Amino acid sequence: AAAAAAGAFSLREVLEAFQRCVTEQREVLLEPYLSGWRGLIRFLQSLGTVFSFISKDAVAKVSLLEGHCGGRQGQQYVSLQSMVRHELAAGPAALRARSDSGCRTVLRLHRALRWLQLFLEGLRSGDSRTSVVCTDAYNASLAAYHPWVVRKAATVAFCALPSRDAFLEIMNVGPREEAVAMLGEAIPYIGDVYSITQELFAQHKLLDLP
């Protein structure tokens, strides 16, 4: 309770949000998706100001999506599937021309979710230093979509990451072994959200939205 009062939180709740995302019909619900992202952002913010440029961008993207969910067309933004259907109704060209669409914004978070999956896998296995795990995960996912200057800044920031032990501790799920076990349980759910989204966006040719 004291930890909660101090604004601390457990990564378990964050990962549970991604578990809640997927319905029996294999739809991805936007509300728990954004709730998971809000938790990740809080976590990132607690790591220090070197990561501000990353959390600012993530906050902007989550806010944009919250705006859609709370807007006049809110019912269309219940799931990623309904969002795609709704935004594609005006045609693919109109969707591509919009910089504030839910689809192009989710696509950015979706690519970052792949980073998260790889990062957590590396953190769980504990084979390398956190900064190395993070850099490898980044190079295998988001880096391909970022210009040189962003890649450079990200790589510099990664050097400031805490050690694996410190990471497992600030995740706040209990003893180290428990944190590792929790990662093992949670990673498949993130993988699930990722692959359903990937398939949805591929099916509608949305994987390269500008």
Q: Which amino acid is present at 126?
A: G
The residue among 17 and 134 lying less far from ligand 1PX, judged by its C-beta, is 134
C-beta of residue 146 within 8 angstroms of C-beta of residue 54: no
In the complex, least distance from residue 171 CB atom to ligand 1PX, rounded to whole angstroms:
6
Nearest Cα to Cα of residue 117 among 39, 50, 183 = 183
CB of 61 to ligand 1PX, least distance (A): 6
73, two tokens: 């067309």
Give the interface with ligand 1PX as residue ranges (CB under 6 A). Answer: 11, 40, 43-44, 51, 53-54, 57-58, 108, 111-112, 115, 134, 138, 142, 146, 150, 154, 161, 171
d(CA 170, CA 46): 9
- Taking the complex as a whole, the smallest distance from the CB of residue 91 to ligand 1PX amounts, in Å, to 21
Give yes or no for a contact between 130 and 118, defined as CB atoms under 8 angstroms apart.
no
Are residues 194 and 114 in contact, defined by beta-carbon separation less than 8 angstroms? Answer: yes
Please, which residue, 77 or 158, has the CB nearer to ligand 1PX?
158
Nearer to ligand 1PX, 42 or 86 (CB): 42
CA–CA distance, 69 with 61 (Å, rounded to integer): 13
Q: How far is the CB of 112 from ligand 1PX (least distance, A)?
A: 4
Is 26 or 208 the residue whose CB approaches ligand 1PX more closely?
208
